[in-house]
Structure 1
Amino acid sequence: MTRIDPLSIPLPEDDSALQWLWEVKTPGYVFDPAIVLARFQRLRAWLDSRLIVSLKANSNLELLIRCGHGFVDGVELASLGELDLAVGRISAVKYVNNPSMDETFMRAALASRCVFIIDSLCQAERLTAVLGKQHAPQTILRLNAAELTPGKRREAADHFGMAPREAMLAAAALTRADVPVIGLHSFAGSHQFRVDESGGDSADLAHALAAFAADIARATGAPMEMLNCGGGFGERFHENEDLFAAYRQRLAPLRQTFQLAHESGRGIFAGAGLFATRIRAVKTLDGHCVAVCDGGLSHNFLLARTESAIKKYARPRLLRRQPATDGAPMLPVKYVGSTCSRADVIGWQPAPVAAPSVGDMVIFEQCGAYHPSYSVSGFLSLGAAGAFIHQSGESS
């Protein structure tokens, strides 16, 4: 029976429907542009706002070529490399957002008519110095989420954005240089989208941003047009429609005054990507099977869970080259990568199964966001994993 989920690449229980995966050179990623666009459209509709796509989550060029036309509300770019990818391929608004943006990046963004998201007073002053006689860009001020809602969102404490007082100074500096400030931005962090009326949930953060907009408007002499309320949407955002209905209701009063926007990378790309690796060796240790794969943390760092205090490994799909033989030992399986690091564990199947064999393929779901871009491919000079495009409904 096929698991019906139009927002993730389908992995039918029948292995015969997955023969196309054998054509993938491993280790490699498989991306489905139709699912990227479907996830974008679903999230945008549920938010009922503009939805800006964060390209840092997945900057694969082939995927961007196939999806870029659908990102109608713009893209967020965090590096000069991402800007180079977007120029000439994205006709919608380009937002540049990086606290360490230097003069070279700024000049390129100015030439590309980008909107600048300003992270600090220092950055605002650097932009005005670079401008010279060039046409001034539109700017948006980024507020630190924890500072904006003091005592309410301590989990949002990070080093991004400004405290309100510094944002006022940045607004004044930009206004003196005739640089328009059109809106405000705040982001509470990955997986932080929630609506629980705690005083510091996602809707409360949006309202705090709106309240502060009046102060900024007094400093600039012009009303704020736009609020970018961030996001923090998870891989499986689509499993809780009621949460978004409650969020839309809480934000309804803000729509009378502001153009609302959100941004997402994880929510848009996650389910549109698989990671595939082949088993190169099999052995038994401490009562479980160890399957050594040709791909590991050098190709998919996030699967190794090295940044998690409690490691909950993914349970991958095993695609067997040949059916398991009768009498094959039934064991839990630990899937490990190709490096010499003991941290290179990428998957775990705790329920005993027939031991896999050399040549079998291991498939990890929900790997379309950050998994391909957040990996240390230089370790052991192994190089990055490959990337392949698969269109839903195609067999190869």
Structure 2
Amino acid sequence: MMEPKLRLYPELKLLLAGCDEIWIAVAMISDAGFDFIQKNINPSAKQNYLVGIGLPTSPKVLRHLMEVDGNGLFQSKVYHKDGKLFHPKLYIINTNGKYHAFVGSGNCTDGGLDKNIELGAKIDDANFCEKSLQWFSVNNKHGKIITEEFLQAYELLFHKRKQRMKKEQEEMAQLFPGDDKGIDLESIDFKNQFFKKEHFRAFEGRKPTDRSAKSNMERQNVRSQLYRLHDLLLPKIRAKKWNLAEHYAFDDIVSSAVHGLFTANELLAIWLHYGRGKREIKEYGDKETPLGFMRLQVIVHKDNVGIWNRIGKDNGSPYDRDYLKKKLQADHSYRERFYEIVSQLPSDYFIELNGESRYADEFGSEQELTEFLLSADSRHYFIIGTNFRPDDPKLSTDNIADTVIENFALLLPTYELIKHKW
């Protein structure tokens, strides 16, 4: 039996939970794609990987595969045959002796499994699955075991390649200068999503500057939804025993939906935030408020939901920003620790400062990251985080609280390292 599949994510997730063994042969694996497999697979399942490096497969994934290779559950190789580009996308799953094969265009990445426009097929025919396993075995003979020597050389090439790809994407964008890259909300099924179409539409067109009762009400609906999210998140944050507090004034737990003296002229987003508690803040002076300090936040825009460590807005968070700058300038072990934390972030995480955004995995060395961070101009926003499309399943009603907590956990080490200490 063969079924066409536009998205691999839903059915793969179901099959992974009960599988006994999986074989994955793909041109590329990203951090997000590998994490998807590990979070959903039966912990006792055997995993076999044959991975290409002609595309920018994550060095973090390759390092993990090297470390667990041969432990009884993992067998991994990178494909190499001179003059040949390894370009398959094959997933074979064995559950209680029944095999399922997925073939098509989707790499083991967040885009290939879920977000891109892909086409694939799920094939349950035993003969096809057997021949696919034979194909895997034959091509695995051209695989090379991942070594530390290989990884060190590959990591250098990987970062250079990412920079080249970014430049190529910018050049390609010039072919369609008038292209609207916004999300088409009308094409999205919001049935299971926590944030609905109307929440994103509250920031469309001229609405961010509109002070009418209608626009105020639309933004207020977003604000109310973020309070609902807060009710889901706060017990989880407390259970983690993280030193993160909501704003001590209930009305300010979520940012304003109405223009006022202390809001921007354009209300382009509304956010829910956590950071220092009242006692910590007032140590800096009675007039200080949470808005003057770094915080973790969930922020809703017209075409995405961000989960960020918002280190500082324009001319904001002077204590945290100055502390970071001084530590980077004077403390080599601090610079190394910061680079270690950033390099472990998933590939879709970015650092934005001075109006420039760079992916966390673009930095090839501690020195390169340090130079970028020290170039920060306090007149501009400084953010570390990731954004999710409105239709991302991770933002579903069932998943959103866990998604925020998982990403807060990734961001918390940056928060703790940057946080000003007396």
Band of TM-score, shorter chain: under 0.3
**TM-score of the two chains, using structure 2 as the length reference:** 0.23
**TM-score of the two chains, using structure 1 as the length reference:** 0.25
Of Structure 1 and Structure 2, the greater helix share is in: 2
